[in-house]
Amino acid sequence: MSKKTPDINIVTFNLIKDAFATIRKSSVNKDFMLSFNFTVTMLLDEKFMNKIIHFIRKNPAIKNKFIIELTESENNFIYLNEINKVMQKLKQESILLSIDDVGTGYSNLLTIQELPFDIMKIDRCFISDRFAVSKSNMLETLATLGNALNLTIVAEGIETESEVKKVNSFNIDLCQGFYYSTPCDAKTFIARIESEPHLYQ
CA 118 – CA 7 distance, rounded (Å): 28
Q: Where are the domains of the chain?
A: 5-20+31-200
CA 191 – CA 194 distance, rounded (Å): 5
- pLDDT tens for each residue of 123-177: 888 888 788 677 788 899 999 999 999 999 999 999 999 999 999 999 899 999 9
Rounded to an integer, the average pLDDT of 27-42 is 86
Quick check: 15 pLDDT over 60? yes
The CATH number of the domain covering residues in 5-20+31-200:
3.20.20.450
Quick check: 108 pLDDT over 80? no
Q: Name the pTM for this structure.
A: 0.87
DSSP 64: T
